[in-house]
A and B are shown apart, each in its own frame.
Chain A
Amino acid sequence: MVNLNRRQTLALGGATFLSELLFGGVPSSAEASDTLTIAYNVNLPSFDPTVGPSAVNPTIQAIYRAIYDQYVGQNPDLSFAPGLLTKWGWNDDKTKAWMDVREGVVWHDGSPLTPADVVWSLERAGNPKTGNPIQFVWGGLDNYKVDGNRITADVKQFDPTVFKWMAFLTGYILPKAYYEKVGSEGFEKKPVGAGPYMVDEYQGNAFLRLKRNDKYWGPKGAFDTVIFKFVPDGTSRVAEIESGSADVTLEIPYEEYDRLRAKPGLAGVCEPVSDIGMIFITNVEKEMLDENVRLAAIHAIDKDLIAKKLLRGYATPIATLQAPGYEAFDPSIKVSYDPELSKALLAKSGYSPEKPVKFKIQTTRGFKPKDYEMIQAIVGMWRKVGIDAEIEVYEIAKHYELRAGHKLDPMAFYNWGNAIGDPSTSTGFAMFSPSPHSAWKSKDLDDMIGPLWGEKDEAKRTAGWKAVDKYIAEKGYVIPLVQYSQPIVYKASLKVTPNATGALQPTLVSKA
């Protein structure tokens, strides 16, 4: 054994310090090790996927899905699959719901997942006092009964989408015994789930390190360790992947996506996701009550040009709030780009390029790719036909407040996500008057939408929503613009399966 005196110890320490300081390279990555590092675009504020703002933040769901499991699983093409529930459904008259809980599943702490955990999670989610933002969905089921691994519940209010919500926001099962033992704050410090990865270490605003759950019931993750680095700045994320500090990154400017994927050693994928760009129309000011003005504004927008030039082809023009791949998408509904028609419509209402109709349009800037630039281009197109729109830039938080108070400007740009692809969670909530998320509030539309909420015949329900979308397009109650594609850049040694929900789940990344 070598004995070192104090001076030698300090000298050795100093030498280690200096060599580490000068030559400690960038962190190891998936190529050389069993660690996958993802430069992620948002921070993870909270580990509880059922309460608070992060529970309804679609971007964070990729992390939640890695740690927890959902009642119902979802494939990358938006279709549903067994999750912690293996089967589910209704009785014939749809007054009762039933669910079969997967057997043999264990929590990260080794304790078994039981139907009691599922019932507790559903009851907690439906309790208004817990602050679950989607409580209105979960509250529709009540009086749970457990028989073996089957759970039955009374349907207080029939909601045809409740099982779809089980794969969506706040649809996660948490461990009853553990949560009750450690409480809310204890759970935040040491979360326990049943998902494919377990929390190893977390530093808010810096990183989350996950370890593979080798006892996971489903397909195991390809990497022993997954690190989510929280890098909200787009430029820094580009640098992370370019320098090799990260193996995968996402949501970077399309220009950078094109540049990076052309570099040796990097690859990219940019597929459509369940996110659309749209313009809300608020029916408060008289200009917006004029159908000619609304339709003129719609027909004057060249969406193809916006998608091809401004968004570099990484967007798909849409005519309704349903994007291709959504359940009620109807390709027969078309809205033409026809500036001459716009001029004619405006002329009917006494407007022209010389005497334009004037109103305000609100938009975010940098919240979504090219949001402000898109509105600038649209305002330019409108000017040519006789619409003089003044742009107001605002923060997304202000949008939410104004929308909830029905105080948005006559037009307002927004990005609407719909990861379960159901028409009720796009057209429904965006266009139904009682919804705090709607801007156009009118009785004719409510009369069409109202009966669809509780429609028990799925075929009739889908047909009903398609009819609503067609009616909205004819009346010009909203301006759907484009469906976004999500740019993901990764090391060529990896394989990334794009997810239409936009959730970059670690289980969708593997070694090539």
Chain B
Amino acid sequence: MTLVVAQRLIMAAVTLFGVAIIVFVLLRVVPGDPIAMMISPGATPADIAALRAHYGLDANLPAQFFVWMKNILRGDFGTSISLHRNVLEIMGERLPATLELAFASLVFAALLGGAIAVFATLISDWSVAPLIDAINGLFLAVPDFIWAFALVLLFGVFFPVLPLSGRIDPSLGERFVTPFYLLESLVTFRFSAAADVLRHMAMPMLALGLPLAAIITRVLKESLREAMVQDYVLLARLKGLSRLRLVLKDALRNAIAPTLALTGVQFTFLIGGTVIVERIFAYPGIGNMAVDAVINRDLPLIQGLTLVFGALFIVVNMTVDALVVLTNPRLRSV
């Protein structure tokens, strides 16, 4: 087991190194020079060269990469060109917002998708059962950003009950010690603040969670359908156990593994989806910051954010693999 974990960690490091090379080279190959965005109309070639040197962009590509890697290994991700602050420090402030949103969306999607799948399995022989598939298909087909705009219209304009932007009401004057607002407000029993954070999180969470809920519904429902015709379920049914108990106690336990694996993969897409959804709801996470970083061609920040996204994907995949092993006894001996 230790060997497997060590192998996975080495692979993760190699993957991150590959990501670092790709993003570093791509950023310098695609058009959009950060210095060109800053140079003033009266700047002479000497002024431009001075500005380039000021941001450390005057050296050749391998030298720039070497300096960047060397600094990263020392924990220095550089200084953001547009924010004038340490990249690692800024990411540390913004990442928790995205993590709280992503995990809230995941929990919401798992609960909603799981409940609908169980309900659909329970009423699978009813005539209205196909309606669930049809509605689910609709939810699957609509991408997160469309949900975002629909929610803005619904809960922002027609029934303005939810805040449209931000992470907390700016007029409240709430102060937080950590960047984990939801967690901190709950732990410190500031329920009013926690409710405000949740209300701000509601629409981006729905936009991100609804498509994932639809995927979970489809996969879990299919797995439950297969499980419900297995011998052990039929035997339990002959014993006179209720359908609800059959689904929850017997079928669900065996149907959960494929759903878990797929949810893990989809969760990484959900994290990717935060970029556009955070932008629409002006939610101050790393996704929203990534858009500004790209617009400003803030190379150190884009590089740092890409590594963080890469690390997140790796951690999510490793966690899912561990959970799949834990939920499937046959895999534990491998």
Output the nearest chain B residue to A233 by Cβ-Cβ distance: B280
B254 CB to nearest A CB, Å = 36
Interface residues of B in 184-222 (CB under 8 A from A): 189, 191-192, 194-196, 198-199
Interface 0/1 of A258-282, CB less than 8 Å to B: 0000000000000000000000000
Task: Point out the residues of chain B lying under 8 angstroms from A209, CB to CB.
Answer: 170-171, 173
**Is A401's CB under 8 angstroms from B32's CB?**
yes
**Is B84's CB under 8 angstroms from A188's CB?**
yes
Task: Point out the residues of chain A lying under 8 angstroms from B153, CB to CB.
Answer: 239
Q: Is A26 an interface residue (CB 8 A)?
A: yes
- The residue in A35, A230, A397, A403 that gathers the most chain B C-beta atoms within 10 A of its C-beta is A397
Interface residues of A in 31-48 (CB under 8 A from B): 33, 35, 37, 39, 43, 45-46, 48
Task: Point out the residues of chain A lying under 8 angstroms from B24, CB to CB.
Answer: none
Interface residues of B in 117-151 (CB under 8 A from A): 149
Interface 0/1 of A14-42, CB less than 8 Å to B: 10111111001111100001010101000
Q: Is A436 an interface residue (CB 8 A)?
A: yes
**Is A137's CB under 8 angstroms from B42's CB?**
yes
Interface residues of B in 155-184 (CB under 8 A from A): 156-157, 160-161, 163-171, 173
How many chain B residues touch the partner (CB < 8 A)? 69
Task: Point out the residues of chain B lying under 8 angstroms from A405, CB to CB.
Answer: 36
**Is B195's CB under 8 angstroms from A17's CB?**
yes
Given known contacts A26-B163, A185-B85, A397-B297, A16 and B54 CB-to-CB distance under 8 angstroms: no
- The residue in A128, A185, A400 that gathers the most chain B C-beta atoms within 10 A of its C-beta is A400
Given known contacts A17-B195, A229-B165, A434-B44, A131 and B54 CB-to-CB distance under 8 angstroms: yes
Given known contacts A206-B283, A236-B152, A20 and B83 CB-to-CB distance under 8 angstroms: no
Task: Point out the residues of chain A lying under 8 angstroms from B160, CB to CB.
Answer: 26, 243-245
Interface residues of A in 178-220 (CB under 8 A from B): 184-185, 188, 201, 203-207, 209
**Is A204's CB under 8 angstroms from B284's CB?**
yes
Output the nearest chain A residue to B86 by Cβ-Cβ distance: A185
**Is B199's CB under 8 angstroms from A136's CB?**
no
**Is B84's CB under 8 angstroms from A203's CB?**
no
**Is B33's CB under 8 angstroms from A51's CB?**
no
Task: Point out the residues of chain B lying under 8 angstroms from A242, CB to CB.
Answer: 156-157
Interface 0/1 of B62-101, CB less than 8 Å to A: 0000000000000000000111111000100110000000
A43 vs B196: C-alpha distance when bound (angstroms)? 22
**Is A20's CB under 8 angstroms from B196's CB?**
yes
Task: Point out the residues of chain A lying under 8 angstroms from B84, CB to CB.
Answer: 46, 48, 51-52, 184-185, 188
Given known contacts A46-B83, A205-B284, A206-B166, A17 and B38 CB-to-CB distance under 8 angstroms: no
Q: Is B325 an interface residue (CB 8 A)?
A: no
Task: Point out the residues of chain A lying under 8 angstroms from B152, CB to CB.
Answer: 235-236, 239
> Among A137, A184, A230, A243, which residue has its beta carbon within 8 angstroms of that of B282?
A230
Interface residue tally on A, bucketed by range: 35 or more
- The residue in B164, B168, B283, B285 that gathers the most chain A C-beta atoms within 10 A of its C-beta is B164
**Is B189's CB under 8 angstroms from A52's CB?**
no
**Is B32's CB under 8 angstroms from A395's CB?**
yes
A117 CB to nearest B CB, Å = 20
Known pairs A205-B292, A206-B165; list 19 more (Cβ under 8 Å). A14-B191, A24-B196, A39-B165, A128-B54, A133-B38, A133-B51, A136-B40, A185-B86, A201-B173, A204-B93, A204-B289, A205-B285, A227-B171, A236-B152, A239-B164, A240-B164, A245-B164, A397-B32, A436-B48
Residues of A that sit less than 8 Å from B by CB: 9, 13-14, 16-21, 24-28, 33, 35, 37, 39, 43, 45-46, 48, 51-54, 56, 128-129, 131, 133-137, 184-185, 188, 201, 203-207, 209, 225, 227, 229-233, 235-236, 239-240, 242-245, 394-395, 397-398, 400-405, 425, 428-430, 434-437
Residues of B that sit less than 8 Å from A by CB: 31-34, 36-44, 47-48, 50-51, 54-55, 81-86, 90, 93-94, 149, 152-153, 156-157, 160-161, 163-171, 173, 189, 191-192, 194-196, 198-199, 278-285, 288-289, 291-292, 295-298
